[in-house]
Amino acid sequence: MFHKSSLFALCLALLVTVCACSLDITPSFSDVGVTYTQEGRLVLTGKTTLPDGTKLSALLLQLTPERKGLFGDAPLDYPASMDVVVKDGRFASWFPGVYKNGLRAGRYGLQIGVLPNQDRVLGIKNAALEGPGVVREPDGSKSFAWEKVVVLPDITAQRTQMLPANTDRS
C-alpha cells in the first residue's frame, strides 16, 4: 500500500513527465559568437530557444589534421557556479584552458550541446527535445549538439592565474 507522501511523489513525477513531454522543444541557437576580450578571455555568447534553466556545454574542436576536442567551457563566474545555464534565452561562458595553454590563430569547430538528464527543465531524459538534430541515445534519452566553424586569433599562453570576471582585483 502506498503512503500519502509516496503517492503524491509518484503523481508529481508523472505530472512533470507528461507536461514536459507534451511541450515539444525544438532547440536552436542564434547570434552565437566567440570573442577575445581585453581581459584576455575567450568568451562565448549566444541566444537559444531552449527554456531558461537548461544546462549547456561547449567545446572548441581542432578540425585538421584530425578532428578532436581541445577546450571545454566554464561559466563566466566559475568556480562560484559549475554549469553554463540559459537565462532569458541567452547563455555565456568562457574557455579557461585557452588562457592557460594558448591557441594558434585559425579555424576551429565550436560545438554546443545540451547536457543529459535535465528532468525538471526538459522532461525525463530530455524527452521534450524534438526536431532536426535531436538524437535518441541507446538508453532512450535525447541529446542535441549544434556546431559551427569559428575563426580565432592567436592567443598566447599566460603564466598568471586568470581571475573570475566578478573578482575584485584591488
Cell numbers 589534421: residue = 65
Q: What is the pLDDT of residue 164?
A: 54
Confidence band, pLDDT 50/70/90 cuts, at residue 3? low
Distance CA 34, CA 105 (A): 13
**Domains of the chain, first to last:** 4-152 (2.60.40.10)
Q: Region 156-160: what's the mean pLDDT?
A: 80
User: Is the pLDDT assigned to residue 123 strictly greater than 50?
Assistant: yes
Distance CA 35, CA 42 (A): 6
**Residue with more model confidence, 97 or 167:** 97
Sign (positive/negative) of CA torsion 42, 43, 46, 51?
A: positive
User: Is the pLDDT assigned to residue 168 strictly greater than 80?
Assistant: no
The angle formed by the CA atoms of residues 48, 54 and 57, to the nearest 5 degrees, is 80
Q: What is the pLDDT of residue 2?
A: 47
- Give tens-digit pLDDT for 73-118: 999 998 888 999 999 999 999 999 998 899 999 999 999 999 999 9
- Give tens-digit pLDDT for 4-20: 555 444 444 444 444 44
- pTM, 2 dp: 0.80
Q: What is the pLDDT of residue 58?
A: 98
Sign (positive/negative) of CA torsion 123, 127, 133, 138?
A: positive
- Give tens-digit pLDDT for 33-62: 999 998 889 999 999 999 999 999 999 999
Q: What is the pLDDT of residue 167?
A: 42
